Amino acid sequence: MKKYFLDIYRGMRSILKGMILTLIVAFRPKATIQYPFVKRELPTRTRGRLYCNIDDCIGCKLCAVACPVDCIYITANKRGPEEEIPLTSPESGAKQRKFHLPQFDIDFTLCCWCSLCTVVCPTDCLYMTKEYEFSVANQQDLIWQFGEGQKPGPKQKIEPPHLKSVK
């Protein structure tokens, strides 16, 4: 019987202590931010959506090999013997670009943001941006194209020419 009342007393005391503490904490500065209206400032190393500056890419495919989930798809066609070999920008080491790169796609549905691809790139043309809000309604829109002559963004559907003629 005595224990019963003692427990009640102790319980009340604990609640009171907790409440006082909660009251004190309530007057501290807020820890939360109103997200869509206020955004955090992101540190420099933030891993957001990948971006490839295709003009600096030499088509070495090191990134595709390093990727643990194989979500970088590159098609590299060797330039013809007569063709002039352009160089990458001086900041990236002015390396020879021996390949045409008609396809450089990254599938962001598979990517796990491990950043292993960006560290192996010899010209630093593949890097992570600070963009992190890229939910889409259509899964297909998460496959991005960076290939030569393509606008970086969701992969455009290429209508096969023979189908066009049927229509």
Partner 1 sequence: MSELKTQELTINMGPQHPSTHGVLRIELLTDGEVCMRAIPHIGYLHRCFEKHAENVDYMGVMPFVDRMDYVASMNNDIAYAMAVEKLLGVEVPKRAEFIRVVMAELNRIASHLLAIGTYGLDVGTFTPFMWAFRDREFILDIFEMASGARLLYNYLWIGGVWMDVTPGIEEKIKEFGDYFGPRIDELDTILSYNQIFINRTKNVGIIPLETAINYGLTGPNLRGSGKKWDLRKNEPYSIYPELEFDVPIGTGEMGAVGDCWDRYMVRVREMRESLKLVKQALKQMPAGPFRAKMQRVRPAPGEAYFKTENPRGELGFYIVSDGSIKPYRVKGKSPCFTSISCLDEICQGAMIADVVAIIGSLDIVLGEVDR
Contacts to partner 1 by CB under 8 A: 7, 10-11, 13-15, 17-18, 21-22, 25, 31, 42-47, 66-68, 112-116, 119, 128
Restricting to residues 57-96, name those near ligand SF4 by CB under 6 A. Answer: 57-63, 66-67, 69, 71-72, 74
Pairing of the two strands 50-52 and 99-107: unpaired
User: Which residue spans within the chain are E strands per DSSP?
Assistant: 50-52, 72-78, 99-107, 126-128, 143-145, 153-154
126 in contact with ligand SF4 (CB under 6 A) = yes
Of 10-18, 25-33, 51-59, 149-157, the segment contacting ligand SF4 by CB under 6 A is: 51-59
Residues sharing a CB contact under 8 Å with residue 148, sequence separation 6 or more, in sequence order:
54, 100, 101, 102, 104
Interatomic CA distance for residues 167 and 164, integer angstroms: 5
Binding stretches for ligand SF4 (CB under 6 A): 50, 52, 57-63, 66-67, 69, 71-72, 74, 106, 111-117, 120-123, 125-126
